[in-house]
Amino acid sequence: METLEQIKSRAEAAVPGARLELIRNDAPSAQHSLLVDNEHAFAVAKFLRDDAQLRLDYCSNATGVDWPEAELTEKFKVTKLVDGVEKEVEEVKKTKRPAYLEAVYHLYSMALKHGPVILRLRTEDRGDKNHLPSLTLLWRSCEFQEREIFDLYGIVFDGHPDLRRILMWDEFKDFPMRKDYVEPDDYEYEPTPHDDVLAKVKQHREAEAKA
């Protein structure tokens, strides 16, 4: 199979205006990925599926990632004059990374027996600008997995044929897989109450009675 750099170049040539970025993974698996802009994401994904050299006809896994706002620290070396002598010193630059959500797709070719190619889509933020294009029309295996991401992370997939909760009950609020999720203490709609849940409900009701 081609390298990600080659796939990136051919996808950008095939889809005018598409912007792809190679995201490196420094873990031992070294599974690098391609981040695609949302406007051209569906067209790029279709290219990956239909291109004769790639034929990525199967999405094995689609998952969400929550990236809260964070302060990033970058270390770099500069040459400075110290006590009249030029020395190389280390400086630190701190920047703020805005919060966003991602959907990550692992793509394989059953026809050509290769993969994965990992495709990433990124929301503008974790609030109202939390929409991404659905890829279910290209890979039917994405249907339930995008519903799970919607349910647990709050990403809205535009164009999904049946976007509704799949694990949590309809009355449930919030998104349990977000990193700032706070577990409720009342579980008003808990469909299968367990002992620890019932203990929390009792404490909640006692607190309400005293208020």
Average pLDDT of 23-36?
Answer: 92
Q: Residue 74 has what pLDDT?
A: 84
Q: Residue 189 has what pLDDT?
A: 58
For residues 19 and 38, what is the distance between their CA atoms, to the nearest angstrom? 9
Residue 46 lies in a domain: yes
User: Any residues with CB less than 8 A from the CB of 75 and at least 6 apart, and which?
Assistant: 90, 91, 92, 93
Residue 132 lies in a domain: yes
Cβ(135)–Cβ(158) below 8 Å: no
Crossing angle of helices 41-50 and 4-14, in 10° steps, is 110
Total domain count for the chain? Answer: 1
Query: Is 55 exposed, middle or buried (CB count within 10 Å of its CB: 0-12, 13-18, 19+)?
Result: middle
Among 114, 113, 151, 159, CA closest to 134? 159
Average pLDDT of 143-154?
Answer: 98
Q: Residue 192 has what pLDDT?
A: 61
Q: Cα dist. 44→65, 81, 89, 198 in Å?
A: 21, 50, 44, 49
pLDDT digit string, tens, across residues 38-90? 999 999 999 999 999 999 999 999 999 999 999 888 888 888 877 778 888 88
Q: Residue 170 has what pLDDT?
A: 87
Residue 185 lies in a domain: no
DSSP of 149-163: HHHHH--EEET-TT-
- Residue 42, both tokens: 């569906």
Average pLDDT of 100-120?
Answer: 97
Q: Any idea which of 20-29, 40-49, 116-125, 187-196 has the lowest mean pLDDT?
A: 187-196
Among 179, 182, 175, 183, CA closest to 200? 183
Q: Residue 171 has what pLDDT?
A: 84
CATH of the domain at 40: 3.30.460.80
Greater model confidence, 183 or 164: 164
pLDDT band at 191 (very low <50, low <70, confident <90, very high): low
Residue 27 lies in a domain: yes
Residue 56 lies in a domain: yes
Residue 73 lies in a domain: no
Residue 191 lies in a domain: no
Share of the chain above pLDDT 70, in %: 95
Full residue range of the structural domain in which residue 9 is found: 4-67+101-163
Q: Cα dist. 176→65, 165, 167 in Å?
A: 12, 12, 10
196: β partners: none
Residue 23 lies in a domain: yes
Average pLDDT of 81-110?
Answer: 89
Q: Kindly report the pTM of this predicted structure.
A: 0.84
pLDDT digit string, tens, across residues 176-190? 999 999 877 666 655
